[in-house]
Amino acid sequence: MIGRSIALELPPGRIRPVVRLPAEVLSRPCDRVDPESDEVVALAADLLATMAVSPGCVGLAANQVGSSLRVFSLNVTGHPKTRTSHGAFVLCNPELVAASRNAKGREGCMSVPDWTGDVKRATRIEVAGTLPGTGEQVVLATDAFEAIAIQHEIDHLDGLLFLDRLPDARALHRRVNYQ
């Protein structure tokens, strides 16, 4: 595993319910935030706390807990498809600044519980954004599973679900819950 873990100093967060389709907040673009505001710092802590108690959850966008704000949390540590990892982190106002090497994978989403879809994503990306609290601006270069997960979360912030990216009429599948 390569990549530097991002150090965040955040207060303890609250666990918040994850909203599901057809909640309207999932299909609306989120608003830019002030990363140093108390509201955003609390939201960042809530996202990490909620992600930590959700089995199999590697990323969470703010609108998935009902806040229409451009903030997401991520933690792909230990996932078998992870190469580069930046640990558990939260990014505000993220922008994809480079993307290459597309590959197709099957994705599910906590907000779309019974379905999965085959979606094409870049496997090498650079993402720019701001850390909550400190306001430090960062550019993260990453690949493989972390790159795919970041694009999925940025899509959420743009009001898009994997359902909006299905490439053909056979790409939607019932989600299987393994015993």
For another protein, the binding residues (CB under 8 A) are: 56-59, 79, 81, 105-110, 114, 116, 145, 148-149, 152-153, 162, 170, 173-179
Minimum Å distance from CB 42 to another protein? Answer: 23
Distance CA 155, CA 150 (A): 9
| Cβ-proximal residue to Zn ion, closest one | 109
Distance CA 73, CA 86 (A): 11
> CB-wise, 109 or 154, nearer to Zn ion?
109
> CB-wise, 28 or 175, nearer to another protein?
175
Left (φ > 0), alpha (ψ -120 to 50) or beta: where does 10 sit? beta
- Residue 94 interacts, among Zn ion, another protein, none and using kind-specific CB cut-offs from 5 to 8 Å, with none
Catalytic residue from among 36, 107, 146, 153: 153
| Contact string (CB under 5 A) for Zn ion, positions 60-99, x = contact | ----------------------------------------
> CB-wise, 89 or 162, nearer to another protein?
162
Distance CA 101, CA 144 (A): 10
94 preceded by a cis bond (ω within 30 of 0) = no
Distance CA 156, CA 20 (A): 12
Adjacent-strand bridge partners of 130 = 92, 137
Which residues are catalytic, by number?
Answer: 153
